[in-house]
Amino acid sequence: MKEKNCNETFDRLPRRRKDVLELFLQGKTDAEIEKLLYITQATVRKHIGNICSDFGLSEEFSYDRSSKRPALMALFAKYKPELMQGNSAVTADSTVSSSSVDWGEAPEVEEFYDRTEELATLKQWLLEKQCRLVVVWGMAGIGKTALAVMLADEIQSQFDCFIWRSLQYAPALPDLLADIIQFLSPTPNLELPDSVSDRTSKLMGLLQNHRCLIVLDNVETVLPEGHRDDGEYGDFLRRVGRERHRSCVLLNSREKPGAVTLVERETRRVKSLQLEGLKEAAREIFREEGLTDEADWNELINHYRGNPHILRLVAWHVKELCGGRVSKFLDLGTTLLNDELTTLLSQQFDRLSPLEKQIVAVLMQTNGAVSLERVRDRIQPPSSSELMQALTVLKDRSLVEQVPTGDDVQFSLPPLIRRFASQHCPLTE
Ligand SMILES: Nc1ncnc2c1ncn2[C@@H]1O[C@H](COP(=O)(O)OP(=O)(O)O)[C@@H](O)[C@H]1O
Ligand SMILES: [Mg+2]
């Protein structure tokens, strides 16, 4: 774009867009702009996307999906450097930092409540402790993706580069490595080594030279069943966790990868966080949906263990079936299990071992909690340690809960799992 066009476009920008642009050029992060202009970070991102289109950057760089932000900075460094005062990324000769950002398939998060503690912990791990590998793991719908979006929004500006990739369609590792390498060192016709280990080495080199934040969402799709060995991704994750570099790979997964469990014991720079349901903040979801009978909300929230995705579905049903009255919905005495939840839970059940499925079947047959001895008598596992291991897997996947009963350890199924198991889990294998 020529200087004259740039000036004209700048003068014609709508006021809000101009406000966002000026703060962006001063080097403010999305989080800072959010606070200064009282808009969400998603809106900040939308404004910046629009501004890039206004200045013709979207067409100019339409061949790649990477961020146009560095190009926007560069444009103003050239024609309007006076707007960039206070921007520490701009050096004396007005060249712009090499920061690049690629949000990939990350979703917009519109409503987000609480998670203050989790955000503080993750920020400490990523920024202060400079962890190399961090996994956030927990049940589907518990809020892993939303949490990572909020976290990355806040901290990505503290990294040289940021990339988000979803592994939802289980990409082969060499393809994923090629994608990330290409992003970090954008060279036309980049020659990549063929072998996975050489490709990984190439990426490790880049992670040493730049401080990058890489978010990999939906990692469970690339973990093989049986949860012992993580295959080729396991090798990759072990290297990211063990080798020396300045970057951080943040994983979201329904299951904790075995590689993380292993390396976590060896170094403080690998960490894992199990994400649990929302507590008090879950009420905001019901409030937002306009439900009534506030006194009964906690019962319904607890019934679904604070899972925000399920609570949104439930809220929708309460509105449709009971005019928004939670007490009326509770009176129905039903546990919501629609097609979507059935599919989600089936995916989880399909990954269980025969022994794990057997335990669920035994727990389903009893209404209350069941002691460890009773479970053992009923299924006669190959050994006690195998039984304990199977129960740990089930607890980790939020399929079985441990109930505190004095000195004894008892186990039971959460209501949703009980409902699912009664319909889909055969009593004997
Ligand atoms: N803290 C939160 N406050 C409000 N809604 C949330 C929160 N966390 C997640 N959600 C919503 O719940 C749904 C599932 O969240 P998501 O992050 O996709 O879960 P996961 O990645 O664990 O499967 C989404 O609609 C999301 O917007
Ligand atoms: Mg997700």
Q: For residues 241 and 262, give the distance between their C-alpha atoms in angstroms, rounded to a whole number.
A: 10
**Cα R_g (the chain), whole angstroms:** 25
Q: Please count the CA atoms within 13 angstroms of the CA of 201 that sit on its side-chain side.
A: 7
Answer whether residue 28 shows pLDDT above 50: yes
Q: For ligand 1, atom 9, name the residue with the nearest CA.
A: 143
pLDDT score for 31:
86
Closest atom, ligand 1, to C-alpha of 311: 12
Q: Which residues pair with 272 in a beta bridge?
A: 135
- As given in the structure block, the two tokens for residue 85 are 């005062």
pLDDT score for 92:
33
Q: Tell me the per-residue pLDDT of 298-348, one tens digit each, with 9 for 90 and over.
A: 999 999 999 999 999 999 999 999 999 999 999 998 899 999 999 999 988
- As given in the structure block, the two tokens for residue 323 are 């005019």
Using the mean position of ligand 1's atoms as its centre, give its distance from the Cα of residue 199 in Å. 34
Using the mean position of ligand 1's atoms as its centre, give its distance from the Cα of residue 103 in Å. 17
Closest atom, ligand 1, to C-alpha of 252: 21
pLDDT score for 429:
45
Using the mean position of ligand 1's atoms as its centre, give its distance from the Cα of residue 148 in Å. 10
Which residues surround ligand 1 with Cβ inside 6 Å? 109, 111-115, 140-146, 278, 285, 308-309, 312
pLDDT score for 235:
93
Answer whether residue 278 shows pLDDT above 90: yes
pLDDT score for 73:
84
Closest CA to 1 of 78, 64, 95: 78
pLDDT score for 409:
84
pLDDT score for 426:
63
Using the mean position of ligand 2's atoms as its centre, give its distance from the Cα of residue 138 in Å. 10
- As given in the structure block, the two tokens for residue 33 are 């702009």
Closest atom, ligand 1, to C-alpha of 307: 12
Answer whether residue 369 shows pLDDT above 60: yes
Pocket test for ligand 1, best of 41, 105, 109, 150 (most atoms within 8 A of CB): 109
- As given in the structure block, the two tokens for residue 291 are 């439900």
Residues 254-273, mean pLDDT to the nearest whole number: 94
Closest atom, ligand 1, to C-alpha of 308: 12
Closest CA to 311 of 341, 353, 332, 333: 341
* Proportion of the chain above pLDDT 90, given as a percent: 60
Residues 193-199, mean pLDDT to the nearest whole number: 94
Answer whether residue 286 shows pLDDT above 60: yes
Q: For ligand 1, atom 24, name the residue with the nearest CA.
A: 309
Average pLDDT, the chain: 88
Domains located in the chain, CATH noted: 3-96 (1.10.10), 116-274 (3.40.50.300), 282-336 (no CATH), 342-424 (1.10.10.10)
Q: Tell me the per-residue pLDDT of 46-99, one tens digit each, with 9 for 90 and over.
A: 898 889 889 888 755 554 455 678 788 888 887 888 888 766 554 333 222 345
- In the DSSP assignment, the letter for residue 83 is G
Beta strand 370-371 pairing with 408-412: antiparallel
Block residue for tokens 């006021």: 15
Closest CA to 373 of 341, 399, 416, 407: 407
Q: For residues 351 and 98, give the distance between their C-alpha atoms in angstroms, rounded to a whole number.
A: 43
Q: For ligand 1, atom 8, name the residue with the nearest CA.
A: 143
Using the mean position of ligand 1's atoms as its centre, give its distance from the Cα of residue 278 in Å. 10
Q: Tell me the per-residue pLDDT of 394-418, one tens digit each, with 9 for 90 and over.
A: 998 889 999 888 878 899 999 999 9
Q: Which one of the ligands is nearest to 309 CA?
A: 1
Q: For residues 159 and 173, give the distance between their C-alpha atoms in angstroms, rounded to a whole number.
A: 24
pLDDT score for 90:
47
**Which has the higher per-residue pLDDT, 31 or 122?**
122
- Among 34-38, 375-379, 411-415, the least confident range: 34-38
Beta strand 401-405 pairing with 408-412: antiparallel
Q: For residues 132 and 241, give the distance between their C-alpha atoms in angstroms, rounded to a whole number.
A: 6
Using the mean position of ligand 1's atoms as its centre, give its distance from the Cα of residue 109 in Å. 8
Q: Tell me the per-residue pLDDT of 100-135, one tens digit each, with 9 for 90 and over.
A: 899 998 999 988 999 999 999 999 999 999 999 999
Using the mean position of ligand 1's atoms as its centre, give its distance from the Cα of residue 400 in Å. 22
Q: For residues 193 and 243, give the distance between their C-alpha atoms in angstroms, rounded to a whole number.
A: 20
- In the DSSP assignment, the letter for residue 46 is H
Q: Which one of the ligands is nearest to 310 CA?
A: 1
Closest atom, ligand 1, to C-alpha of 281: 3
- What DSSP string describes 22-41? HHHHTT--HHHHHHHHT--H
Q: Tell me the per-residue pLDDT of 199-226, one tens digit each, with 9 for 90 and over.
A: 999 999 999 999 999 999 999 999 887 6
Answer whether residue 136 shows pLDDT above 50: yes
Residues 220-240, mean pLDDT to the nearest whole number: 84
Residues with Cβ within 8 Å of residue 85, at least 6 apart in sequence: 26
* Proportion of the chain above pLDDT 70, given as a percent: 92
- Among 159-163, 193-197, 227-231, 349-353, the least confident range: 227-231
